Structure 1
Amino acid sequence: MTLRSVDLRKEPVEAVLDRVERSLGTALDRESVVRKRRSVGARTGRGTWVRIERRGLDRIGVQGGDGTASAEALSGIAKPAWFAGVAWRDETEPVIWRADETELLPGAPVGNAVVTKEPQLAEEWWASLNASLNALATQQTSRIATPDTETLTQELVTATIHSVFPGVDTALGEWCPAHADFNWANITMSPFCVFDWEDWGMAPRGLDAANLWGASLAVPTLADRVCGERRGDLESRDGRLMTLFVAAKILGPYADPDDPRLKAARETAERVVKQLQER
């Protein structure tokens, strides 16, 4: 059966919300519902948050789609606690639905995934970001990151980079745990907290830093700050390759001609390609 493309911002989800309420034993505040392309979230009657995701069976893999639950074992990271989860197979499509109940966020997200205006972030915020990413890199896991629900492999990195920067040596060497969807929509403003852990797992060093850099390019001072804070990651060989990986997604065949990040992504990528060639 072919999996149809679905945008949950446009699909009816009342039956799904009803099932989650029955399974978790709590009411969902329908006025608090937040819809995204492949997930729906809502506040519960017991003061928690539930995130519901629709994911095709072909994107589940050996990890089972339990990223948020498995992230509860991570330590030293500012993130909401996980309390409960429920999953089921769709009756008519090759799809898994999963709902995870977590602690409420301590604040509002910084912004959209990509920001166009500089957020006012305290020095303590940056310190917490660094502490969390440094702690994450020391954890142990057999999970493999699935950015954009695709399992991250050497082959995927090579194909993505070569689609825009052919000929670059893309051999990866240093892998460590990453959030894998690290952007401004998944991080709170005050205090720092990172959420939506569905895709976390092992990834080349620098993936999270490169993702945040790419999400900041429309605000040059913010992109520079990200680079400065995560210099150790981004100036490593794998970090440079992750910069090209992210840049290739911005600049590739599906690039938006109105994307304000295009020029900065191109300029940085060209510099990084030269740096890799000189090593």
Structure 2
Amino acid sequence: MTAAHARAAAALGTTVSGPPAWGHQGRTLGRRADHPLYGACWLRLQAAPDGKEGGRTWTGQEQAALLFPTVRKPTLHSIHDATADAHAYRAELTTFVDEPVLSPNGPVLHHELDLPDIWFKKIREDLGAVAATATDRVSVRQQWIDRAVPQFTRRSAPQITDWTCAHGDLHTANLTAGATILDWEGFGLAPRGWDAALLYSYALLTPATAARIREAFAGILDTHTGRTALLVVAADLLQAASRGDHPDLTAPLHRLVDEITSRFAFPSE
């Protein structure tokens, strides 16, 4: 990955600097890059076995650039595809966002945030624009919901009838203090309210911030549709915890499931 990133930097005419930023399980690699025309940029590389490239995450950033022109996100300047060592690589050169992310150590929020109302207003507006966009990309599937919700929450799987386009991976490691939304490779159809439910669930270890998020997105999270999204998100994160990701969320996620299913119509298995 390091060698492929260096080759992509040379092919795109950039000079890289600063520490490498590895994505989940080393699937991506990003670094600061300077370009003679675009200035400060970010060069992100993803890899797949040769012949296995393509699909939703491979084309996500490219398609997001076309579909969401008004949403506050990094501008995509260029793409470079290459193959080497039985792998395919895609490098994406975007603007460098000179704003700190809200959770630099990963998606689970571990410190309380003091975010102004205007921050939430911008995020709601951008998520509204995303939800209003037609797409045939799929981020969450009913077939997975049918399996995961009973297995990880011990509740019956809801049948989703309201699907909308979602960022798909909305958490404070993908959000900046300036309300820029990062990492669009996974966007697609999901239960309405998915993004707000995910943002809230990843913040459960910080009660004050979680309450602020719940309040800011009460228009969706305090409805049956939003509570359904919370249940499905809880199943998603509990599945991840069963594989060793963010086990500290397990207890608060079970409490969330108990809260929304004991007070409202979500039958147990």
Give the Cα separation in 2 of the matches to 1:211 and 1:257: 15
Aligned-partner Cα distance in 2 for 1:157–1:259: 21
The match for 1:134 among 128, 151, 159 is: 128
Q: Is 1:235 the equivalent of 2:222?
A: yes
TM-score by length of structure 2 reads 0.85
Larger mean Cα displacement after TM superposition, 179-188 or 133-142? 133-142
Deviation, 1:193, is 0.3
Map residues 251-270 of structure 1 onto 2, 5 A cutoff.
Answer: 251-252=238-239, 254=242, 259-270=247-258
Residue identity matched to 2:214: C
**What's 1:52 paired with?**
45
Tell me which of 28, 31, 37 is aligned to 1:42: 31
- Look up the match of 1:18: 6
Unaligned stretches of 5+ in structure 1?
1-12, 146-151
| Distance across 2 between alignment mates of 1:103 and 1:218 | 32
Partner residue in 1 for 2:95: 103
User: What does the per-residue CA deviation read over 1:11-60, in whole Å, with 9 as the maximum and x for residues that have no partner?
Assistant: xx33112221232122222x342223321111112211111122457975
Structure 2 spans left out of the alignment, 5+ residues:
none
Tell me if 1:164 matches 2:152: yes
Alignment map for 1:27-106 (pairs within 5 Å) = 27-29=15-17, 31-36=18-23, 37-46=26-35, 47-55=40-48, 62-63=55-56, 65-73=58-66, 74-92=68-86, 95-106=87-98
Query: Partners in 2 of 1:64 and 1:220 — Cα distance?
Result: 32
The answer as to whether partners of 2:82 and 2:90 remain within 8 angstroms in 1 is yes
SS in 2 for 1:65: helix
Cα offsets for 1:212-266 (capped at 9, x unmatched): 1111000111111111111232234443232122222443471769844333221
Q: What's the secondary structure of 2:15's corresponding residue? A: coil
**1:115–1:215 CA contact under 8 A, matched in 2:** yes
Aligned length: 256
Q: How far off its partner does 1:272 sit?
A: 1.8
Q: Which residue of 2 aligns with 1:204?
A: 191
Return the TM-score normalized by structure 1. 0.82
Q: Which of residues 112, 117, 137 is equivalent to 1:118?
A: 112
C-alpha contact (below 8 Å) 2:175/2:181 kept by paired residues: yes
- RMSD value, Cα: 2.5
| Structure 2 Cα separation of the partners of residues 90 and 241 of structure 1 | 44
Q: Establish whether residue 175 from structure 1 lines up as the match of residue 163 from structure 2.
A: yes
Is this contact kept in 2: 1:106–1:188, CA < 8 A?
no
Closer, same or farther: CA 97–263 of 1 in aligned 2, 3 Å: same
